[in-house]
Amino acid sequence: MDPNQSGVVTAIAIHGLPEFKKGDPIADIVIQNTTLNHHDVIVVTSKIVSKVEGRIIQAPNDGFTPEEIHAIIIGESRRVLRQRGQLVITETQGGFVCANAGIDQSNMPDGAICLLPADPDRSARRIRDRIKALIGIDVAVIISDTFGRAWRRGVTDIALGSAGIGPISDLRGTLDSNGRPLVATEIAIVDEIAATAELTKPKSGAIPVVIVRGIDPSHFREGSVKDEIIRPYGEDLFR
């Protein structure tokens, strides 16, 4: 049986990758460290994308003051949705709703702040295209990050950007097992794949690339998180 049709999905953490720094070619490093198959999904944390793309702000001295960090958050945002103490929930320039505009000091050298990639769909597309050029294999790429959720405690990994995979599985027109049109028709495939990848990681969080294998072949197509997943402001009931 074709493993893609047998209902088995496997996520594999790639161990032993080096620290990434500005200008490093993610695609080249990934293919040097693992064997890829057609229709693999490569899930890359946004942290290393930000590092290689230079989306890092280095503090001029011992580190940032809380006021300086707040100013960076506001600069990365187009709208503040909620604020409680040090926590600010904003809509980023890229349209993501998250805490502190996604800026992050974990797994970073002292005095450095990591911003979200400027255009995560483009980052995903570049990695996908480079892999295709290097080894001739069609993979999908997802740029992942860890986000909180309304109404539920705990964070999960979601997709910031994608290439080569349909972010939403559009089942409109599909019938359920009783022949009735399906109601919950639009499944956020790329977010579920990002969550799956996270489950393979050790608690220290130092695994930046995970391969997810066995995704239904019908999901592989062009598409972008920005165009399909981000809910426009006017459509949203909670902004």
Choice between 35 and 106, CB closer to a copy of itself? 106
C-alpha span between 13 and 202 (Å, rounded): 9
How many of the other CB atoms lie within 10 Å of CB of 214?
19
C-alpha span between 216 and 5 (Å, rounded): 6
Choice between 30 and 126, CB closer to a copy of itself? 30
C-alpha span between 97 and 184 (Å, rounded): 23
C-alpha span between 185 and 18 (Å, rounded): 40
Among 26, 114, 131, 229, binds a copy of itself (CB under 8 A): 229
3-state secondary structure of 208: coil
Choice between 93 and 105, CB closer to a copy of itself? 105
**Minimal distance in Å, beta carbon 76 to a copy of itself?**
16
Task: Check binding of 150 to a copy of itself (CB under 8 A).
Answer: yes
**Minimal distance in Å, beta carbon 75 to a copy of itself?**
20
Among 157, 160, 164, 165, binds a copy of itself (CB under 8 A): 157
Q: What is the dihedral of CA 203, 47, 35, 37, to 10 degrees?
A: 110
C-alpha span between 94 and 86 (Å, rounded): 22
Task: Check binding of 137 to a copy of itself (CB under 8 A).
Answer: no
Choice between 13 and 137, CB closer to a copy of itself? 13
Strands 112-114, 56-58: pairing kind: antiparallel
Task: Check binding of 203 to a copy of itself (CB under 8 A).
Answer: yes
Enumerate residues 10-39 that contact a copy of itself by CB under 8 A.
10-13, 15
Choice between 45 and 126, CB closer to a copy of itself? 45
Per-residue tokens: 224: 């972008």
**Minimal distance in Å, beta carbon 136 to a copy of itself?**
26
The span of 27-35, 67-75, 118-126, 169-177 binding a copy of itself (CB under 8 A) equals: 169-177
The span of 22-30, 113-121, 125-133, 223-231 binding a copy of itself (CB under 8 A) equals: 223-231
**Minimal distance in Å, beta carbon 133 to a copy of itself?**
28
Cβ atoms of 215 and 197 closer than 8 Å: no
C-alpha span between 146 and 154 (Å, rounded): 10
Choice between 61 and 204, CB closer to a copy of itself? 204
Question: Residue 72: is it exposed, middle or buried by C-beta count within 10 angstroms (0-12/13-18/19+)?
Answer: middle
Enumerate residues 68-127 that contact a copy of itself by CB under 8 A.
82, 84, 89, 96-97, 104-110
